[in-house]
A and B are shown apart, each in its own frame.
Chain A
Amino acid sequence: MSDDPRERIIICRCNDVTLKDIEDIIDSGITDIEEIKRLTRIGMGPCQGRTCLPLVAGIIARKTGKKIEEIELPATRVPIRPVPMGVLAGDMDEE
């Protein structure tokens, strides 16, 4: 690990994405939260973005000068919490 303290700040715990990862992408010119999401998989882990997406929106706002309310958070998708596939498959065998 380098000396950059931003590498020790975890923004997305599901996919191990650090503050440096996010800032590097923004510095490379990609500032769209939908694109940052696809490149780093923030918001795509088991928490579905409940922890990381507001943080990432804050970082984008700070670095680009946008207002945080201008940054539309990516869609929240079902299921809201992880659910075992067997539960969803249910008793369809018996139906």
Chain B
Amino acid sequence: MRSKAKTVIIGGGIIGLSIAYNLAKMGEEDIVVLEKSYLGSGSTFRCGSGIRQQFGDDANIQMMKRSVEIWKNMENELGYNVEFEQGGYLFLLYDEEELKTFERNVKLQNKYGVPSRIITPEEAKEIVPLLNTDGVIAAAFNHTDGKANPFKAVFAYANAAKKLGVDIYEYTEAKDIKVEDGKIKKVITDKGEIETGRVINAANAWAPLINKMAGVPVDIPIHPYKHQGIKTEPFKIGEINPMIVSFKHDGVYMTQEANQGGIIGGYALKYGPTYDITPTYEFLRGVSYRFSQIIPALKYLNVIRIWAGYYAETPDDNAAIGRINEVDEFYIAAGFSGHGFMLAPAVSEAIAELIVDGKTSKPLWFYDPYRFERGELREQAVQMG
């Protein structure tokens, strides 16, 4: 392991790896990524694969619009097929209040050029013929939303970063960070020490531990909650192209994998805060019930497995991203609350701009890590699962 680096990124998920890639792309050298287990093992490999621009606030919509542009071109840029498919996101709406909220959101999304629209239950059924539209009064649909393969995306960024000279150390855990007079001196790992002047905390569920090591004097509340996913056996590909979401069914989301053909998804049953990720029977039964309410034919499909992962949640379900003023050259991009996978391309670009150019045109102010302490919570991010 090298003993010196200009930048040490802690966390080998899609956030840490994409930041490493973008920094290197902008000409930064001597970058190290530390991952305490295998790449993607924290939250990325456990995510639901969805990528959407249908948020309810200006910042997330703009960030996701930029992300989708990058997702679309990722195979070209990184030289690796990440199986990005624009099957859309279809939100099923069951009452006037929901409809009003989504009408407002669609208007905001349209303002930024996201082509979402409100459609009728009949149109929703044309998009997904297997859909049970009983009780559905309308739906919000955006055909440029989609999904990608989290496994492939992690390796895409990791390989591209390596090609640009980034060193990635797996099974290497950050144990402490030495700071003197507000300046970072070194990161101590279980495999040795790395002298460095810059640390990026991309540890998501474990981010509070890293903040503590560096003595970050700001309260950035991030707590890991256990959420779960389900996967079925494959069937005819193309039957369920969009991610279907229903808040009336407790935040259910589900889609058919573009290449594998199984259904994946989940709902908003959560446990925690906890680092335990044992799947639960309660979830297995609950998700099966809700899925078959929305698409009755799924009753005949075999469930292959369930798994659990973290939403590293903040009080407003928006990440904490930015520079920490009290510890020179300490940055955080964590607490993604279930949206890290989809946001990673734009967030990593913005952080790299912030570090290299000292500023970014992207609305990173929205994710200000100091907002919690100031009591300036954002509007709750649109979140399911």
Decide: B38 and A79 in contact? CB cutoff 8 A.
no
Q: Chain A contacts of B94 at CB under 8 A? A: none
**B170/A32 in contact, CB under 8 A:** yes
B285 and A83 form a contact (CB under 8 A): no
Residues of A participating in the B interface, judged by any CB pair closer than 8 Å: 30, 32, 34-35, 38-39, 41, 44-46, 48, 75, 77-79, 82-86, 88-90, 92
Contacts of B304 in A (CB 8 A): 44-46, 48, 79, 82
Bound-state Cα–Cα, A82 to B262, Å: 13
Q: Are B285 and A32 in contact (CB under 8 A)?
A: no
B108 within 8 A of A: no
Asked if B289 and A38 make an inter-chain contact with CB atoms under 8 angstroms apart, the answer reads: no
Q: Does B336 contact A (CB under 8 A)?
A: no
Name the residue on A nearest B281 (C-beta): A78
Complex CA distance for A79 and B232, rounded to whole angstroms: 11
**A32-B170, A77-B305 are contacts. A85–B288 as well, Cβ < 8 Å?**
yes
| Complex A-B: 30 CB contacts under 8 Å | A30-B155, A34-B38, A35-B39, A35-B40, A39-B152, A44-B305, A46-B233, A46-B302, A46-B304, A48-B304, A77-B305, A78-B281, A78-B306, A79-B306, A82-B302, A82-B304, A83-B303, A84-B299, A84-B300, A85-B288, A85-B291, A85-B299, A85-B301, A86-B292, A88-B285, A88-B288, A88-B289, A89-B289, A89-B291, A92-B289
Specify which chain A residues have a CB less than 8 angstroms from the CB of B233 in the assembled complex. 46, 82
Given A32-B170, A34-B41, A89 contacting B302 (CB threshold 8 A): no
Say which residue of B40, B170, B279, B302 sits within 8 Å of A38 (CB atoms): B40
Q: Mask for B274-303, Cβ within 8 A of A = 1, else 0?
A: 000001010011001101100000111111
The smallest beta-carbon distance between A35 and chain B, in angstroms, is 5
A83 to B302, CA, bound (A): 5
User: Which one, A38, A46, A48, A90, contacts B151 given CB within 8 A?
Assistant: A38
